[in-house]
Amino acid sequence: MSAQKEYSFFQSVEKSFDKAAKFTKWDRGLLEQIKACNSIYSMRFPVKLDNGTIEVIEAYRVQHSQHKTPCKGGIRFSEAVNEDEVMALASLMTYKCAIVNVPFGGAKGGIKINPSNYSVYELEKITRRYTSELVKKNFIGPGIDVPAPDYGTGEREMAWIVDTYQSLKPGEIDAAGCVTGKPITLGGVRGRKEATGMGVFFGVREVCNMADIMEKLGLPVGIAGKTVVVQGLGNVGYHSAKFFRENGAKVIAIAEYNGAIYNADGLNEEEVFQHKLLNKTVLNFPGATNLEKSEDALELECDILIPAALENVINASNAPRIKAKIIGEAANGPLTPEADDILALKGIVVIPDMYLNAGGVTVSYFEWLKNLSHVRYGRLEKRFSENMNTRILEQIEELSGKKVSEKEKTFIMHGADEIDLVHSGLEETMISATHEIMQVWKSNPEIPDMRTAAYVSAINKVANSYVELGIFP
């Protein structure tokens, strides 16, 4: 999708930071320290391709902040990767972790490739070589810096990373915690794959449950019946669409970089995904209308717009034409600072990326804890809870002389599995973060939007940990 850039991505993040910093009491020097990227590793390494030629690969890992360790953040494979982008994304990770109270500093990695131009074998070689470069420079490890999936990467790449790390660090007992988003068999946690999309849903749902905000927007409270447009049908867009649909919203349009489709009666993301797999495009999906230009989907009349692809897609040139009432930033940085100002004037509520897409890193945190504790969630207590629940139920039945239905019995007796605990931990995290941000927003009528409130909340938390460390008085 075309995106007119007014600022570099990192400058946009700095601009949003400065806008929020005015609402804090911190010393200028401390604010400068929080904003700066602490360590930037820019690397080049050769990879021999299947046809025998050698290609020099450009890649990065940026650690924005070590105010808490390890640092945390995904690795993306994209042709658009550059140092500025990775710096911006690493900074967002610091603020994101602070907002959802995940005790990590922010980091991000990127390899400048289009993965579809390489064979699986070539991708494996690139990923393993990147990992060994990180090991050589001490830029990866369960207590140092823990990568995860991002745009263009997934479980497969994380599996290669953990395997490479373990082979270079034999006997390191916590080695599985060197990366998150791994397959379950290699130490992954159940629920990581859908985590970001689920977090997006929980966050938007929480805002839609706030009567004062809905009243201002002229919308009924709740998710049911709301119309949703999703841009990007990758892992995050797919799962966001799924949870909105399953909870009674109507996904009326889905956009991809090479085409968009519309159906006022609602689209099923799984059917659209299958169609895309077969045809390499979402276009010509049965029953839907093709949109002439993919970016037109962003300008459709709808209640909720979910940009779930790349940065800067809503900018000064198209922001005046946006008709959505709520924008949920599932991607990192989909709105430029100019777009923010224009949308605020139009009364559109923007739910910011560093809060809304924090579901991924929240569940990554659960995965990392699982790796360090070497035990699956629920393993110790599941059976105990089930036995206890059975006894309580039997007593109630005996005392009341009434029988509970089989369906209710199964529900009441159930002891929590790993997936139940991960989902409820994520729900709790997103709900309490929403309320923390809203409290900041409401505490100062001068704070113009939710993004600024989220930054204020993040800056205060990071600043406080510097103060606790005694580095700044």
3-state SS class at 56: strand
Q: How far is the CB of 369 from ligand GLU (least distance, A)?
A: 13
Percent helix, strand, coil in the chain, to 5, is: 50, 15, 35
| Cβ contact 352:451 at 8 Å | yes
> How far is 97 from 69, CA to CA, in rounded Å?
11
Q: How far apart are CA 112 and CA 61, in angstroms?
A: 12
| 197 is an interface residue for ligand GLU by CB under 6 A | no
Beta carbon nearer to ligand GLU, 156 or 323? 156
- Residue closer to ligand GLU (CB basis): 329 or 338: 329
Considering only 227, 240, 318, 332, the residue that binds ligand GLU (CB under 6 A) is 332
Q: Is 73 in the site for ligand GLU (CB under 6 A)?
A: yes
Minimum Å distance from CB 62 to ligand GLU?
A: 13
Q: Does 336 bind ligand GLU (CB under 6 A)?
A: no
Which neighbouring-strand residues pair with 72? 106, 146
In the complex with ligand GLU, which residue's Cβ is closer, 141 or 360?
360
- Torsions phi, psi for 109 (to 5 deg): -130, 155
Give me the least distance between CB of 300 and ligand GLU, in Å please.
26
Shortest separation between residue 150's beta carbon and ligand GLU, angstroms = 4
CB atoms within 10 A of CB 81: 23
Compute how many residues bind ligand GLU; rule: CB under 6 A. Answer: 11
> Does 115 sit near ligand GLU (CB under 6 A)?
no
72 binds ligand GLU per the rule CB under 6 A: yes
Q: How far is the CB of 253 from ligand GLU (least distance, A)?
A: 24
Separation of alpha carbons 202 and 196, rounded Å? 10
Instruction: Give the DSSP H/E element, type plus range, for residue 260.
Output: strand 259-262
110 vs 378, beta carbon nearer ligand GLU: 110
Cis check: omega of the bond before 70, within 30 degrees of 0: yes
Residue pair 304/249 in contact by the 8 Å Cβ criterion: yes
Phi and psi at residue 123, to the nearest 5° = -60, -40
DSSP 286: T
- Choose between 303 and 367: whose C-beta lies nearer to ligand GLU: 367
State the residue number with the nearest CB to ligand GLU.
74
Stretch that binds ligand GLU, among 70-78, 226-234, 306-314, 433-441 (CB under 6 A): 70-78
Q: Which two tokens stand for residue 27?
A: 């010393």
Applying CB under 6 A, among 131, 180, 227, 371 the residue interacting with ligand GLU is 180
Interacting residues with ligand GLU between 149 and 178 (CB under 6 A): 150
Q: Are 38 and 63 in contact (CB under 8 A)?
A: yes
List binders of ligand GLU among 338-377 (CB under 6 A): 357, 360-361, 364
Give the contact letters, 132-151, x = binds to ligand GLU (CB under 6 A), - = no: ----------------x-x-
350 DSSP β-pair partners: 327
Amino acid letter, 54: I
Element (H, E) at 240: helix 235-246
**108 in active site:** yes
Q: How far is the CB of 357 from ligand GLU (least distance, A)?
A: 6
Alpha-carbon distance 472 to 245, whole Å? 48
Write down the least CB distance from residue 162 to ligand GLU, Å.
14
Nearer to ligand GLU, 150 or 256 (CB): 150
Q: Which stretch binds ligand GLU (CB under 6 A): 67-75, 128-136, 290-298, 393-401?
A: 67-75
Biggest CA pair distance of the chain: 79
**Range in contact with ligand GLU (rule: CB under 6 A) among 69-77, 206-214, 260-268, 282-290:** 69-77
CA–chain centroid gap for 270, Å, is 20
Nearer CB in complex with ligand GLU: 31/89: 89
For the chain, the first-to-last Cα distance in angstroms comes to 47
Q: Identify which range of 66-74, 157-165, 217-225, 397-405 contacts ligand GLU by CB under 6 A.
A: 66-74
Q: How far is CA 468 from the centre of its chain?
A: 28
Q: Is 59 helix (H, G, I), strand (E, B) or coil?
A: strand
Catalytic residue among 19, 108, 226, 250: 108
Q: Which residues are identified as catalytic?
A: 108
The contact set with ligand GLU (CB under 6 A) reads: 72-74, 148, 150, 180, 332, 357, 360-361, 364
